[in-house]
């Protein structure tokens, strides 16, 4: 048995849970029973309850050779927060289940929880429970986040004539992942002032942000699989078409600089890259918003007008676990 596995083996499951509990004591007053009992209890909120769940599996969603445990903890909760924001909701209570392989040290789990707790605090989310098991090979994380919304914004309400908006620049995360992989293979060297750092950070530690006013929105989704893929979900669910303009898709200067350096098309990352965790929504075209208008909802068909003004059909290209 290695020294690493000894450490977690020495502390044991219950010792680990106890030490995690000590890190998660800061809970909101609506948590009646938190970590430490057979189930948690929370006061019901007057608005509707939202529930979302997201898994992260080593080798599928993250690579421990280029993410720290703190970054991983941050992203793990961030992707769940993004789903609650995508419904126009407020995130409140988080439950963490873990499968831990023998290679993981106690300090790794503590770092993971420091990442979770930092973003939890930022969004006033309470960690109220979970489950802890061993896993034979890979680290497995499963998070369930509860929240509430007065009026949940679904993928189903887009109407012909609505405008299509995104809340942030797209493609940074996918380029960041590309850079992390290249750096790992030693294909690229980085200086600290490199625009690549911001892109890598966007991949490792996304910062989802809610929309302040969702009352006029007709549909919404968070950008996890890529713009073309996620917009296709809205079209499918709302039974409508879409037309988007490449020239209106917001790109960061860092993405443009890096794409140029690598002789790649930045739009490739913005359209097909995933994990931006920005919001994509539809609403009447006259609403007041700081979001970027990238196109409009049509009766049917899914098209892009490229930078030269030519029109082409698009498919839902993006990340798919089974393709
Ligand atoms: P049970 O045997 O009933 O499943 P556990 O011993 O697994 O209970 O859990 C004890 C307490 O610790 C519960 O309140 C549970 O929610 C909490 N808990 C277990 N694992 C975690 C974890 N990874 N993160 C946060 N809380 C946890
Ligand atoms: Mg349990």
Tell me how far the alpha carbon of residue 105 lies from the centroid of ligand 1, in angstroms. 19
Q: Determine the average pLDDT of the residues in 237-265.
A: 97
Ligand 1: which of 17, 23, 56 to mutate, judged by most atoms within 8 Å of the beta carbon? Answer: 17
Atom of ligand 1 minimally distant from the CA of 24: 25
Q: Which ligand is nearest to the CA of 129?
A: 1
Tell me how far the alpha carbon of residue 188 lies from the centroid of ligand 2, in angstroms. 44
Which residues surround ligand 1 with Cβ inside 6 Å? 17, 20, 35-38, 96, 98, 127, 129-132
Question: What are the angstrom distances between the C-alpha of 241 and each of 41, 163, 165, 221, 299?
Answer: 44, 12, 15, 16, 5
Dump the DSSP string for 147-170.
EEESS---SS---TT-EEEESS--
Q: Determine the average pLDDT of the residues in 259-267.
A: 95
- pLDDT tens digits for 52-68? 999 999 999 999 999 99
Q: How confident is the model at residue 31 (pLDDT cuts 50, 70, 90)?
A: very high
Q: Which residues pair with 283 in a beta bridge?
A: 163
Give the pLDDT confidence score for residue 184 in this predicted structure: 80
Q: Is the pLDDT of residue 188 over 90?
A: no
Phi, psi of 98 (to 5 degrees): -135, 140
Tell me how far the alpha carbon of residue 206 lies from the centroid of ligand 2, in angstroms. 29
CA–CA dist 251, 127 (Å, integer): 35
From 5-9, 94-98, 272-276, 291-295, the region with the lowest mean pLDDT? 5-9
Per the listing, tokens 């991949």 go with 203
DSSP 274: -
Q: Is 235 exposed, middle or buried (0-12, 13-18, 19+ CB in 10 A)?
A: buried
CA–CA dist 67, 78 (Å, integer): 15
CA–CA dist 244, 265 (Å, integer): 17
Residue 298, C-beta contacts closer than 8 angstroms, at least 6 positions apart: 160, 240, 241, 242, 243
Q: Determine the average pLDDT of the residues in 181-193.
A: 74
Q: Is the pLDDT of residue 2 over 60?
A: no
Q: Which ligand is nearest to the CA of 141?
A: 1
Buried b vs exposed e over 69-92: b needs ≥16 C-beta within 10 Å?
bbbbbbbbbbbbbbbbbbbbbbbb
Give the pLDDT confidence score for residue 227 in this predicted structure: 97
Q: Is the pLDDT of residue 49 over 80?
A: yes
Q: Is the pLDDT of residue 4 over 60?
A: no
Q: Is the pLDDT of residue 322 over 70?
A: no
Higher-confidence residue: 187 or 215? 215
Give the pLDDT confidence score for residue 323 in this predicted structure: 61
Atom of ligand 1 minimally distant from the CA of 132: 20
Nearest CA to ligand 1 atom 11: 36
From 16-20, 35-39, 208-212, the region with the lowest mean pLDDT? 16-20
Tell me how far the alpha carbon of residue 38 lies from the centroid of ligand 2, in angstroms. 8
CA–CA dist 320, 233 (Å, integer): 13
Nearest CA to ligand 1 atom 18: 130
Buried b vs exposed e over 150-189: b needs ≥16 C-beta within 10 Å?
eebbbbebbeeebbbbbbbbbbbbbbbbbbbeeeeeeebe
Atom of ligand 1 minimally distant from the CA of 127: 25
What token pair was written down for 198? Answer: 């911001």
Which of 33, 105, 114, 45 minimizes the C-alpha distance to 73? 114
Query: Percent of the chain beyond pLDDT 70?
Result: 94
Phi, psi of 174 (to 5 degrees): -65, -40
């Amino acid at each position: 048995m290695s020294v690493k596995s000894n450490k977690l083996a020495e502390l044991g499951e219950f010792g680990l849970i106890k030490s995690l509990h000590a890190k998660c004591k800061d809970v909101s007053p609506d948590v009646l029973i938190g970590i430490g009992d057979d189930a948690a209890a929370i006061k019901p909120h007057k608005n509707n309850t939202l529930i979302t769940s997201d898994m992260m599996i080593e080798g599928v969603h993250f690579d421990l050779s280029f993410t720290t445990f703190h970054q991983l903890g941050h992203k793990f909760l961030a992707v769940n927060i993004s789903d609650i924001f995508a419904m126009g909701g407020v995130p409140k209570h988080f439950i963490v289940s873990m499968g831990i392989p023998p290679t993981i040290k106690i300090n790794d789990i503590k770092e993971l929880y420091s990442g979770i707790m930092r973003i939890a605090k930022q969004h006033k989310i309470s960690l109220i429970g979970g489950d802890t098991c061993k896993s034979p090979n890979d680290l497995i994380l499963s998070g369930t986040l509860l929240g509430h919304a007065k009026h949940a914004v679904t993928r189903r309400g887009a109407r012909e004539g609505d405008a299509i908006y995104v809340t942030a620049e797209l493609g940074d995360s996918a380029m960041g992942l590309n850079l992390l992989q290249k750096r790992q293979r030693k294909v690229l060297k980085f200086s600290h002032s490199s625009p690549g750092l911001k892109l890598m950070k966007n991949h490792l530690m996304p910062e989802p942000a809610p929309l302040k006013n969702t009352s006029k929105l007709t549909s919404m989704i968070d950008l996890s699989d890529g713009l073309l893929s996620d917009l296709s979900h809205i079209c499918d669910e709302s039974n409508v078409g879409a037309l988007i303009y490449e020239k209106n898709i917001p790109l960061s200067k860092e993405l443009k600089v890096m794409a140029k350096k690598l002789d790649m098309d930045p739009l490739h990352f913005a359209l097909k890259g995933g994990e931006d965790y920005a919001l994509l929504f539809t609403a009447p075209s006259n609403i007041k918003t700081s979001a970027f208008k990238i196109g409009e909802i049509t009766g049917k068909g899914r098209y892009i007008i490229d930078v030269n003004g030519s029109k082409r059909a698009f498919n839902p290209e993006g990340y798919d676990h089974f393709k």
